[in-house]
Amino acid sequence: MKKQISKWLSILLPLLIGIAIIYYQFSTLTADEVVKIKICFKKANYSYIYLSLIISILGYWSRAYRWKYALNHLGYQTKFHNNFFTVCVSYLVNLTIPRSGEITRAALIKKYEEVPFDKAFGTIVAERIVDLLIFFLFVIVGFVSQFDTLYRFLKTKNISFDTILTAIFAMIVLFIIFIWIWIYAEWKIIQKLKQKLSGLLEGIFSIYKMKDRWKYVLHSFFIWFAYLMMFYVTIFALSETATIGFNIVLMGFIFGSLAVGFSNGGLGAYPLSIALIFSLYGISNDIGTAFGWLVWTSQTLFTIVMGLLSYLLLPLLKSK
């Protein structure tokens, strides 16, 4: 019974959060702004949207190829099309329950390539760690380069520099307390976390030992480059965003990526975060909202189509 409740909560809670965010966003828009958003969708140059989808395919391809290096390192020579299709399906499943796609990907590669689930899942965990490290590089570059803009925004919210320093000091103190608990506490939950962390570290070290590790790393950077370019080319779909600077694109990309984890595939949260970030740079709320929904809708529909098509092709190619 508890598992059933937990399962439904994991599906419904992110969905409800997304719906609540959509309601909040559109309740703050005026009737005139809603009309402008509709006009933006009608007049958008969809050639750039299609270009962003082509770049998305390159990102999918690179992720599938990178996975092949990790599986080869474990001694499994998998077919590339199976890697690619399982990656596509995993993106689709992530739209239902956040991060459940990783489990699905490991299960599918076990079914179609007979790779043990635990080993396949270990390679996926290692991927996530590498992806997280690369994303942190984007965050560092973005926040350092845009410190003045972010600081001015905080000042408009009456958040002083002393308050920021106090918050940083508090986080450092909490971090030290956490490290102390991590080292000396004998709590069961801490011991379980240590076991999981050791598995994650093992996944990272397996990349270091990998024969094709530099190709693996290059593909990792290419995947994120594709994500960024996919977002960047979309700005040319609207005349109002076509001239914005790359600094705005970078910040939008960072906060949009963070928003994806708040609800099912970023439902509601993604367009709202884009509108908020764009507003820091003087872009009107209706244009920021329209752009956010344009990017999110096109990518989500593409994910659904690719995922369903891949799910149908997997058994068909195996039977042949």
Q: Out of 31-35, 94-98, 140-144, 155-159, which region has the weakest mean confidence (pLDDT)?
A: 155-159
Task: For residues 4-33, give the mean pLDDT.
Answer: 70
Per-residue pLDDT of 191-240, as tens digits, reads 666 666 665 566 566 677 788 888 999 999 999 999 999 999 999 999 99
Question: In the prediction, which pLDDT does 320 show?
Answer: 59
Question: In the prediction, which pLDDT does 199 show?
Answer: 55
Tokens of 238: 């609207």
Q: How confident is the model at residue 8 (pLDDT cuts 50, 70, 90)?
A: low
Residues 6+ apart with CB under 8 A from 85: 108, 310, 311, 313, 314, 317
**Closest among 59, 56, 12, 4 to 263, alpha carbons compared:** 12
Question: In the prediction, which pLDDT does 12 show?
Answer: 65
N residues, the chain:
320
State pTM to two decimals.
Answer: 0.82
Q: How confident is the model at residue 55 (pLDDT cuts 50, 70, 90)?
A: very high
Question: In the prediction, which pLDDT does 46 show?
Answer: 95
Write the CA distances from 320 to 115, 195, 269, 313, integer angstroms: 20, 42, 42, 11
Handedness of CA 98, 100, 106, 111 (dihedral sign): negative
Query: H helices of 114-186, where?
Result: 117-145, 147-156, 161-184
What does the DSSP 8-state code read for residue 220?
H
The CA angle 172-178-181, to the nearest 5 degrees, is 145
Task: For residues 181-187, give the mean pLDDT.
Answer: 67
Task: For residues 137-164, give the mean pLDDT.
Answer: 76
Q: How confident is the model at residue 33 (pLDDT cuts 50, 70, 90)?
A: confident
Residue with tokens 């609800």: 263
Please give the share of the chain, as a percent, with pLDDT higher than 70: 83
Tokens of 26: 């559109």
The CA angle 269-270-272, to the nearest 5 degrees, is 65
Q: How confident is the model at residue 293 (pLDDT cuts 50, 70, 90)?
A: very high
Q: How confident is the model at residue 1 (pLDDT cuts 50, 70, 90)?
A: low
How many CA atoms lie within 13 Å of 225's alpha carbon, on the beta-carbon side? 8
CB 223 within 8 A of CB 66: yes
* The residue type at 117: F
**Closest among 255, 298, 296 to 274, alpha carbons compared:** 255
Angstrom distance (rounded) from CA 178 to CA 197: 15
